[in-house]
């Protein structure tokens, strides 16, 4: 019997300034409070690091992180087990 690992993609709209931390693990461009909210979001949704994000950001009043501040966002793609 073989077990097949199937992955599916999930897309979330999140703050653009999270990109370097989420994609590369680079903490230099993010405040510690924002890093906390980023990690909290990943834990809450049981997500690994994203595999990619959109190249172009856009302005949004809301995003999937429930960040109450309006700002530039990106579309982040996460691969999770189906």
| Residue whose tokens read 């995003």 | 63
Nearest to 41 by CA among 63, 74, 72: 63
DSSP structure class, residue 9:
E
Judge whether 14 and 41 are in contact, CB under 8 Å: yes
Examine residue 49 and state whether it is found in any structural domain, yes or no: yes
The boundaries of the domain holding residue 72 are 7-81
Examine residue 23 and state whether it is found in any structural domain, yes or no: yes
Nearest-5° Cα angle at 63, 21 to 51 = 40
CA pair distance 52, 11, nearest whole angstrom = 10
The number of domains in the chain is 1
Q: What is the pLDDT along the chain (82 residues), one digit of tens a residue?
A: 556 789 999 999 999 999 999 999 999 989 999 999 999 999 999 999 999 999 999 999 999 998 768 999 999 999 998 8
CA pair distance 17, 38, nearest whole angstrom = 10
Examine residue 2 and state whether it is found in any structural domain, yes or no: no
């Amino acid at each position: 019997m073989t077990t097949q690992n199937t992955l599916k993609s999930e897309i979330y709209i999140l703050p653009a300034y999270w990109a370097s931390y989420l994609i590369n693990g680079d903490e230099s461009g993010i405040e510690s409070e924002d890093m906390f909210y980023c990690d909290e979001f990943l834990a809450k949704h049981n997500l690994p690091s994203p595999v990619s994000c959109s190249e172009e950001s856009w302005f949004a009043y809301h995003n999937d992180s429930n960040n109450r501040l309006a700002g530039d966002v990106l579309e982040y793609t996460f691969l999770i087990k189906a």
